[in-house]
Chains A and B, each alone.
Chain A
């Protein structure tokens, strides 16, 4: 792979997002919630990165920062090497067209009072680039690309099923022909038989249009189907990052190991040994000292000198194209 040599399509450098929390009393100290801290990744053109973790780990905040719905508190998001935060005017509009987002719940992401074709058309109208006739053609092409029946053109969101609505949301995202599609839990709100259709559609769009993906999900089996690389987040940070097969075959971080083992297979005879973690993810308002995962970690006793309790591990190279933030010595 020479993805390290070419300019990435999208890159996060030291991304940090923090929110001000309510003070305790009038004169209390200002408090911050670090939703995302020091996140780095790069997605090559046509590549696909999966971002996994539990609720509150910051994965959706990363998605929002990538599409520009959330300004980074520090660090930057780059497209084709250009800093999104520094772009203005026509250059910013151009950057915006390169990326689109699909949300979890297509019922709340589509305007209920307009026909779905209008929702798909809207990004084109806002960009103002094309003649109305050409816009209509593009809407039809987007319907075609996501497998939506033209008969649904004038329908309203409430008349559609969940799967059809999610197809509309994807068509809307595709209509400006972006190069990166950010998907924030796009299949979680869907029923099983429909979920498979949407997963296959996303795989198909990647193959057909060379679309790059930033795919956010807690469903690891679906992530495995759609991406080349996976980053695991815990409490606002990436704790492990690796090429897909390497991560699923040999997870290096105890949290990744627990996450994978918690996935119950829908097949019989899944005799893997399960790691049931104690407790729950800590509040980002009161992150534990040292490694954020240590209070739940089953392996921390193997690290001498209570280092996990005292020192936050850095995300360091731990193999070919992989990184890991853990004090534990890797077993060969």
Chain B
């Protein structure tokens, strides 16, 4: 069941050097108990998309040109600031990348969670404190009751991120948006935080939007993926299907350039040549065309729409285990050739 549905979101920034189309026609659907990963490089528009649907982008310079974000029968983008405040934090919670800058250094962890709780619920301080302690212990903070009186600097990075997650779930939201929640953490701690997010999703039937550039996390935790490039979604579909047979050349390049521990070291690491386009001067046609080895003339003329990719059936017939009923989309004219290159070598 979908809890949050974003349709045709377009966000522009009126920067000093000119207007920048940060997000173009982004549509997303979040479902209960499922994790959707929004993948892309810095500047691809993934964070702006998430912030815009909660009206958390600064306006100006940001302008939400078009778009709807449906949540419980209401379009979030038409709500007043006051109505939005009731939703943000309580029903849709946000976990930022860096807990070190998100927590106030001069207040105890408990005071900060209590403040968030009391903003949304008419409860006494003691009740709010009890809720905070419960949330902290649910996210695996040992001796939660005592931890409430700790200041952020007394906690390690992993514990601080657990505090942020506790704050996010204290009000039992339906949706959790996590923006690179493990990037600032050590590898062994990253594993703990991801276990925690996966467990919360199961236990509370949460819909999770995971914003990340880490394909390892996506492969292991996300049910669905949306790949963004230069402000647009270029491919989306179930994680397993996309990782098995990427239909967009950018997705294909991204997957190939991720190094793994079992890489064949005789092969150089595949890389995508060139750079993402200057957001002030994006090409007319497909934004990826200048870096694309599959590009044909049509790609430079008009931007390809996000459609079910052609060529999946042929690939399945060649023996690759693909689910043809899966809902997949790719914004590319040449998906047949891209998919062809994923054909298992016989």
Q: Do chains A and B stick together as partners? A: yes
Task: Pick the contact of A54: B42, B186, B254, B275 (CB < 8 A).
Answer: B186
A193 touches B191 (CB 8 A): no
Question: Given A218-B186, A268-B219, does the pair A276, B192 have CB atoms closer than 8 Å?
Answer: yes
The residue among B159, B190, B219 with the most chain A CB atoms within 10 A of its own CB is B219
- List, in ascending order, chain A residues with CB within 8 A of B217's CB: 264
- List, in ascending order, chain A residues with CB within 8 A of B191's CB: 262, 264, 274, 276-277
- List, in ascending order, chain A residues with CB within 8 A of B243's CB: 267-268
CB contacts under 8 Å to A, within B251-286, are 253-255, 257-263, 265, 268-273, 275
Q: Is A266 an interface residue (CB 8 A)?
A: yes
> How many Å from the CB of A24 to the closest CB on chain B?
15
- List, in ascending order, chain A residues with CB within 8 A of B272's CB: 193, 196
> How many Å from the CB of A199 to the closest CB on chain B?
5
B261 touches A263 (CB 8 A): yes
Question: Given A225-B259, A263-B261, A265-B219, does the pair A163, B275 have CB atoms closer than 8 Å?
Answer: yes
17 contacts between A and B (CB under 8 A): A191-B41, A192-B213, A193-B41, A222-B259, A224-B259, A259-B187, A262-B190, A263-B187, A263-B216, A263-B261, A266-B215, A268-B244, A274-B191, A276-B188, A276-B195, A280-B156, A280-B189
> How many Å from the CB of A253 to the closest CB on chain B?
13
> How many Å from the CB of B117 to the closest CB on chain A?
27
Question: What's the Cα separation between A268 and B240 when bound, in Å?
Answer: 7
Which residues of A are at the interface with B, using a C-beta cutoff of 8 A?
54-55, 161, 163-164, 191-197, 199-200, 203, 218-222, 224-225, 248, 258-260, 262-268, 270, 274, 276-277, 280-281
Question: Given A193-B253, A193-B272, does the pair A221, B261 have CB atoms closer than 8 Å?
Answer: yes
CB contacts under 8 Å to A, within B189-210, are 189-192, 195
Task: Pick the contact of B216: A195, A200, A259, A266 (CB < 8 A).
Answer: A266
Question: What's the Cα separation between A191 and B191 when bound, in Å?
Answer: 21
A221 touches B260 (CB 8 A): yes
Question: What's the Cα separation between A163 and B275 when bound, in Å?
Answer: 8
Question: What's the Cα separation between A200 and B217 when bound, in Å?
Answer: 23
Q: Is B158 an interface residue (CB 8 A)?
A: yes
> How many Å from the CB of B35 to the closest CB on chain A?
14
> How many Å from the CB of B153 to the closest CB on chain A?
12
Task: Pick the contact of B275: A194, A259, A262 (CB < 8 A).
Answer: A194
| Per-residue contact bits, chain B 164-181, to A (CB 8 Å; 1 contact, 0 not) | 000000000000000000
Question: Given A225-B269, A258-B188, does the pair A193, B257 have CB atoms closer than 8 Å?
Answer: yes
B244 touches A200 (CB 8 A): no
- List, in ascending order, chain B residues with CB within 8 A of A218's CB: 186-187
Question: What's the Cα separation between A221 and B214 when bound, in Å?
Answer: 13
Q: Is B311 an interface residue (CB 8 A)?
A: no
A192 touches B269 (CB 8 A): no
A196 touches B187 (CB 8 A): no
Question: Given A193-B271, A280-B189, does the pair A224, B263 have CB atoms closer than 8 Å?
Answer: yes
- List, in ascending order, chain A residues with CB within 8 A of B215's CB: 192, 266
> How many Å from the CB of B267 to the closest CB on chain A?
10
B254 touches A192 (CB 8 A): yes
Question: Given A192-B213, A268-B244, does the pair A199, B189 have CB atoms closer than 8 Å?
Answer: no
B186 touches A281 (CB 8 A): yes
> How many Å from the CB of B55 to the closest CB on chain A?
27
